[in-house]
Structure 1
Amino acid sequence: MKQSIVMALVGVLMFAATGLAQDPVDYAGAAPKHWHEIDNDFMRAFKNPMEGLEMGLDLRLREVYTRNMLTVSDSMEGDKHFQRIRPRWSTKWTLDDDITFSTRLTWEFWNHCYPRGGAGAFFGQRSTDFDEAIFDHMNIQFRNAFDLPLTLTVGRQDIILGTGWLVLDGTPADGSRTIFFDAVRGTYQLTDTAKLDMIYIQQYDDESKWLKPFNHSAVRDRRHLTQNQDEKGVILYLTNNVTDDFGFDAYYMFKKDKKSGWANYWTNKTGTNRRGDDQETNVLGGRVFGNLDTNWSYSAEAAYQFGRFRPDGGDFVDQRAFGTNNKLQYSFHDKLNNEVHIGYEYMS
């Protein structure tokens, strides 16, 4: 039945975007220059140190003041003050006209200024935690694969589909340090306006399953990528920008979760359920978006979810759900690109 649904949806998506383009569109072109990007001889030499190699470096500084972050008890936690410092170094190697190899090394370390209470050793002492460094990008990309308007990206990569409502963060348990997926992504340019993304994802809770981070031994007991489960997924995602003022997305997603080895070990050892899901989920959905005039724009998305899950190791039970996410935005088109919007989200 599941195979029939997938094949039927593929047929609908292909029909919705008939007329193959003769020349592929570079849908993943270079990002526009940021307003505070530094441009001088040193930076140009750093960015292009040799033929066929591009490098990048960015730094995120985050100051955090919080009260009762993990509980609602003053006696257990109280106030906390810390910094999160995250430098990232990226490389892009051009191996051929249509083949590139990309990496990005991410290192986020924490400086604890004001701990109080005993909510765990990580927050319970005043110190600098140098943590670990992890490759959150490591992939090879083939453009015009098999002499088709097809781009294949194989390996660790960021994937954001549509507004990011359903597909954005592949590593929710590491606290916004990374968002990567370990995946194979094929993007087929159907027409000048339409493309079909075909994605397979294999995500492990254990950070060291694919690429072991540097200094991982210092944090392996508390670092996880997912919510204590191993995940497999398949996504078919059609995007069609029909005109400059109207477009739509249509998609099918399947996701299978299995409680990770870490969660099983500690559940059996302590007798306490360490979360993690045993679950199979299907999602059918779509989105329409566009411009009402030069200032007003909109996005309206809805999705239906069905499948089954096994609570606390018991028998599988069926589940059904519906959700919608919508936004109406006004753009001022001033020097600062100010925008205001109103949104509505519903999840059953």
Structure 2
Amino acid sequence: MNIVWTQYEQKGNGMKRKELLLHGVALLIALVMFVESAPAETTFDYGMNVRARHELWDNMFSLGTRQTTNTNYDRSFFRLALFPWAKVEFDKNVTLYGRMVYEPQYSVGPYKYAPDFERFMDDDIAFDNLYIEWRKAFGLPVDFKIGRQDFLGKETYGDRFLIFDGTPNDGARTNYHNAARARIHFDEKNSLDLLYINNPAYDHVLTLVHARVSRQLNPSNEQGAVAYGRFKPFEQVDLEPYYMYKHEDQIIGQTTPELDLHTIGMRAVLTLGNSKLRGEFAHQFGEYATGRKREGNGGFVIVSHRFAEVALKPEIELGYVYLSGDKNPTSTTAKMTAWNPLFQRAPFFNAEVIAWPLAYEQAKNGGVGYWTNMSNIMVRSRFTFSEQTNLFLQYWHMRANQLSQGLPTWLFSNNSKERGNLVTGQLNHEFSKKLDGFIQAEYFMPGDFYVQNAKNSLFIRTQLTYKF
């Protein structure tokens, strides 16, 4: 079984890269000169975010069953990410924004970075965001946003069920999508997004420095088109119907052919005071290049209540998540019935530790973060100690909907649907308006879905972020 964690491509055309870098520098100089001579309503802002992390991964890849290869070794490493950014406001409706990323890493061990098996891994310098946004274009109730962009904050789609991370193979380094979006405003509470996405497996355009190596960002070249509505028919009700089309090229390192997939679904939220009921359901259908059909279903329902008048203002959530599994996982002709997570391959509902055994399970479909074949009950809570400090806790009981077949017997039992239990916690604190951090811990106790000698796995992340 060939699993691609992070591939590197050697680049021989150094002159082309140097030309790109020179063009980028020239563009920046021209931009600054333009701002200097621009009308008074044009403003220029810039800064940098610095993110320092330490991560500990214990038994995360093979659940301790095969620690004989570098890929499966436990990991303890430091990551320092620099995010310099600049923004130009040409007027109140037009914004040009750019942000770059540089994140070298140092491994304490025992894992060492491929392909040279060293403790220090340098990083390329790439554009993490580069877009232009035009609000109320042509005087119409339409906003355009074109370029490399994140779907975070006010740009988030629902609960990040199908659209969030466009670069899953580089971990938490980036989340961007190469996209063009038109947002049509019917009024203040109702809108429709029309979205085009193009996420290549490798970034050969906006990587400027250290481009001799190029990170693999996706399991294949991907394209998509989305229509996503946000409607509020009543004060307490939000409805978000959507249609999504996705094309996937052949998975790199696998024989899985090209896929065209359609997804129709809706997210709904009912708010009653401090209580909420929210849910989402989607149906998928499509076809591989070989003619093999594919269908799947996925969704969740979550009920929550915030005890605003009680000490620590606890918020409690109870939820259920369903992602269909493949009834014929060893067949190449029978209908494929597994859920496809589309453009969401980040830690599912904030669960990092289980993403890596999933890479072995779903290698032929894309590996890391391919959330599918799950039936999970979850309990989540949040406690607010102060305006600066809060604690998030979570418990999952996890099952598969279909038995696995033909998976490596050193990790999977292939005779049980009991995935196991997961406990997570995250303590967040804001030291000042510029400095914040958190400590995150996750502990997974594997069930009989895995082999008997599978060990519990642990993930710990400590992070500090400073905004200049």
Determine if the TM-score, normalized by the shorter chain, exceeds 0.5: yes
Q: 1:144 to 1:325 in 2, by over 3 A?
A: same
Query: Which residue does the alignment assign to 2:248?
Result: 257
Query: Which residue does the alignment assign to 2:280?
Result: 301
Which whole-Å CA distance do the structure 1 matches of 2:102 and 2:192 have between them?
A: 34
Query: Which residue does the alignment assign to 2:118?
Result: 125
Q: How does 1:225-304 map to 2 (within 5 A)?
A: 225-227=217-219, 229-259=220-250, 263=252, 273-274=253-254, 277-292=257-272, 294-304=273-283
Q: 1:81 to 1:275 in 2, by over 3 A?
A: farther
**Which sits farther off after the overlay, 63-72 or 180-189?**
63-72
Q: Give the counterpart of 2:161 among 158, 165, 183.
A: 165
Aligned residues: 275
Q: 1:214 to 1:329 in 2, by over 3 A?
A: farther
- Alignment gaps of 5+ in structure 2: 1-40, 325-468
Q: 1:89 to 1:191 in 2, by over 3 A?
A: same
- Alignment gaps of 5+ in structure 1: 1-49, 264-272
The residue type paired with residue 344 of structure 1 is: Y
The question of whether the paired residues in 2 share the 8 Å contact of 1:207 and 1:213 is answered with no
Q: How does 1:42-57 map to 2 (within 5 A)?
A: 52-57=43-48
The question of whether the paired residues in 1 share the 8 Å contact of 2:125 and 2:207 is answered with no
1:47-102: CA deviations, max 9, x gaps?
Answer: xxx96012243232221112344444123244321012222122210123321100
Query: Which residue does the alignment assign to 1:184?
Result: 180
Query: Which residue does the alignment assign to 1:115?
Result: 110
Which whole-Å CA distance do the structure 1 matches of 2:103 and 2:307 have between them?
A: 36
The residue type paired with residue 286 of structure 2 is: G
Which whole-Å CA distance do the structure 2 matches of 1:120 and 1:139 have between them?
A: 33
Which whole-Å CA distance do the structure 2 matches of 1:249 and 1:255 have between them?
A: 19
The residue type paired with residue 263 of structure 2 is: V
Q: How does 1:15-164 map to 2 (within 5 A)?
A: 52-71=43-62, 72-76=65-69, 77-116=72-111, 120-121=114-115, 124-126=117-119, 128-159=120-151, 160-164=156-160
Q: 1:100 to 1:119 in 2, by over 3 A?
A: closer
Q: 1:326 to 1:275 in 2, by over 3 A?
A: farther
Which whole-Å CA distance do the structure 2 matches of 1:53 and 1:119 have between them?
A: 39
The question of whether the paired residues in 2 share the 8 Å contact of 1:64 and 1:83 is answered with yes
* 3-state SS of paired residue (2:161): coil
The question of whether the paired residues in 1 share the 8 Å contact of 2:280 and 2:299 is answered with yes
Note the aligned Cα RMSD (angstroms). 2.3
* 3-state SS of paired residue (1:259): coil
1:172-219: CA deviations, max 9, x gaps?
Answer: 1111211111111000101221000000111111211x31242121x3
Q: 1:230 to 1:188 in 2, by over 3 A?
A: same
1:286 Cα offset (Å)? 0.4
Which whole-Å CA distance do the structure 2 matches of 1:82 and 1:163 have between them?
A: 30
1:339 Cα offset (Å)? 2.4
Query: Which residue does the alignment assign to 1:347?
Result: 323
Identity %: 26
| RCO comparison, higher one (Cα < 8 Å, 6+) | 2
* 3-state SS of paired residue (2:169): helix
Which whole-Å CA distance do the structure 1 matches of 2:199 and 2:281 have between them?
A: 25
Which whole-Å CA distance do the structure 1 matches of 2:91 and 2:159 have between them?
A: 32
* 3-state SS of paired residue (1:173): helix
1:337 Cα offset (Å)? 5.8
**Could you state the TM-score of these two structures normalised by the residue count of structure 2?**
0.55
Which whole-Å CA distance do the structure 1 matches of 2:60 and 2:84 have between them?
A: 30
**Which sits farther off after the overlay, 191-200 or 276-285?**
276-285
1:275 Cα offset (Å)? 5.9
1:235 Cα offset (Å)? 0.4
* 3-state SS of paired residue (1:140): strand
Q: Give the counterpart of 2:303 among 324, 328, 332.
A: 328
* 3-state SS of paired residue (1:250): strand
The residue type paired with residue 107 of structure 2 is: H
Which whole-Å CA distance do the structure 1 matches of 2:136 and 2:232 have between them?
A: 21
The question of whether the paired residues in 1 share the 8 Å contact of 2:42 and 2:91 is answered with no
* 3-state SS of paired residue (1:207): coil
* 3-state SS of paired residue (2:207): coil
